[in-house]
Chain A
Amino acid sequence: MCEALASIEKSLDLEKLQQVCDRLAEQLRAGDCVLLHGPLGSGKTQFVTCLAGALKAVDPVTSPTYGLANFYHTSRMPILHIDTYRLVDETEFRQLGLDEYFDSHLVLVEWGEKVRSDFEDVLDVTLAFGGDSGSATAASRQFAFSWRSPHWQVRVEYALEGIG
């Protein structure tokens, strides 16, 4: 697997996360894919909630762990929210046939590592608990945004502009 070209790390509380998602969402299009990584309870679904909120999705975001995939409608493009937590491997994922929706949807994948090889160009978002810095409040998380293609760099830098 190729190494990520670049990455930016940020500690974000919920309010800042929403600001970042608002700005990131402006630049997202159908066909884009974001893979989410991080331990249980680190906020992967919350990230999707913030992005869907930024896109004014009409459907509520819920965890797709059991149903494997949720669809949300927005005025800009539909969102496909996938969770591979219960899947064994990428073969099982491919057989679900969800790839039919990739081009026409914004695709957000929790536990995205299992499906990395199905996407050429993704934004990786890796979440971790605040750590022992002491400054991190209960609600804040460490976010690492990483990518290989330069157009993600532009988008991430725009999204993080002005965030302390």
Chain B
Amino acid sequence: MASKGELILGVETSCDDTSLALVDESGLVISEKTINQFEIHSGYGGVYPELASRAHVHALLPAVRSVLDDAQVQGPDLRAIGVTRGPGLIGSLLAGVNFAAGLAAGWNVPIYGVNHLRGHLRSVDLGEKRLSYPALVLLVSGGHTFLAYLKDQHSIELLGSTRDDSVGESYDKVARMMDLGFPGGPAVDKLAKIGTPRVKFPRPLIKDGFEFSFSGLKSSVARHLEQNPDDDKADVCAAFVEACIDVLMTKSRRALRQYPSKSFAIVGGVAASPQIRQEAQQLAQQEGAILCLPPLKWAADNGAMIALAAWDYVRNDWPQTLKAETRIPISQI
């Protein structure tokens, strides 16, 4: 049982998942509850069409009860509440922000609107401290793809992000083109392992800089499948994954050389890819950085990373902005 002021409640509702967690200052996750839309739908027999924001409203109260009960703490004993205020889907963000604001007023605890992207960066240190600074972080998920340089825990410099699609989105869509089922990412990786990359798909923007573009790669795969509908799916997957990894690793290597870092971390759902993990290990070794891969359960959107990020807000006395915004740059608090 935690004492008064030891825990922060993190509330994350920026997209599909409602996720709450209680986290202490060291990053230890005391309790955690994530409810995704799929679970809510099954509660209605699996057919009730729910929308993200209403689903969040339904999920928030049971989730907050669950994390408080599991940790055996009372709301008024919390140090603070951290809630994702963006970037994300406006209705979903508002559901979380308004709910959290109500809790904070009722319990009389401070509340901080947290930049979701800062949460992803801090997720590396959930459970145990893994990151040494300066650090290079590659975020690869369904919603985001970017490289950031962290001089220390609080100074974040965005090196480059995607101009169009995220890498996770291109994985999902390539899977969909070949009817590989859901979730698409793991299916693509699995097939890629047994295939041979016979086609050389383009590596957009690979030559210089830190910006990414995956839309053209996705289109090339679509065009290839249109022209060669009977081509071996495993070979196409292998060629696609090879192109993705080539781009991600070439940019990461460039960043590690230009911004020498002690740690190289990869966060986000696509970090689950065995191919990426393997290549990243090699890259880190060659460039003299320690590779940090947080446990996969913290790779997806989660309340724990928001709580841990909120500790930074508390410690630095950052402004308690509660305005929900669909776009917030990574550098912004």
Contacts and interface: CB of A to CB of B under 8 A. Distances in A.
Interface string A26-52: 000000000000011111011001000
A63 to B, nearest CB: 5
Interface residues of A, number: 29
Contacts of A46: 215
Contact of A63 (B89, B165, B222, B226): B165
Nearest to B224: A41
Interface in A9-36: none
A161 interface: no
B67 to A, nearest CB: 26
B51 A96 contact: yes
A89 interface: yes
Contacts of A133: none
A160 interface: no
Contacts of A39: 177, 222, 226
Given A40-B176, A41-B177, A96-B51, A66 B169 contact: yes
Contacts of A60: 163
Interface in B163-180: 163-166, 168-169, 173, 176-177
Contact of B219 (A41, A70, A95, A97): A41
Nearest to B172: A65
Contacts of B88: 67
A62 B177 contact: no
B194 to A, nearest CB: 23
B142 A96 contact: no
Given A40-B222, A43-B219, A138-B223, A91 B49 contact: yes
A67 B15 contact: yes
A65 B16 CA distance: 12
A102 interface: no
Given A67-B15, A92-B49, A95-B54, A41 B221 contact: yes
B252 interface: no
A59 B91 CA distance: 20
B302 to A, nearest CB: 16
Contacts of B143: 66-67
A41 B214 CA distance: 10
Contact of A89 (B49, B90, B163, B164): B49
Contact of B49 (A61, A88, A97, A138): A88
Nearest to A97: B91
Given A40-B173, A41-B173, A92-B50, A66 B222 contact: no
Given A59-B327, A96-B51, A66 B215 contact: no
Contacts of A88: 49
Contacts of B226: 39, 129
Contacts of B221: 41
A116 B222 CA distance: 26
Contacts of A89: 49
A115 interface: no
A12 to B, nearest CB: 15
B91 A71 contact: no
A7 B275 CA distance: 46
B164 A63 contact: yes
B164 A40 contact: no
B6 to A, nearest CB: 34
Contacts of A67: 15, 87-89, 143, 326
A69 B49 contact: no
A33 B176 CA distance: 27
B33 interface: no
Interface of A: 39-43, 45-46, 49, 59-63, 65-71, 88-89, 91-92, 95-97, 129, 138
17 contacts: A40-B222, A41-B220, A41-B222, A60-B163, A62-B164, A62-B165, A63-B169, A65-B169, A69-B90, A70-B327, A71-B327, A89-B49, A92-B50, A96-B89, A97-B53, A97-B91, A129-B226
What are the 7 closest A-B residue pairs judged by CB atoms, nearest first?
A: A41-B222, A95-B51, A41-B219, A66-B143, A63-B165, A41-B218, A40-B173
Given A63-B215, A96-B51, 7 more contacts: A40-B218, A41-B215, A61-B164, A62-B165, A66-B15, A91-B49, A138-B220
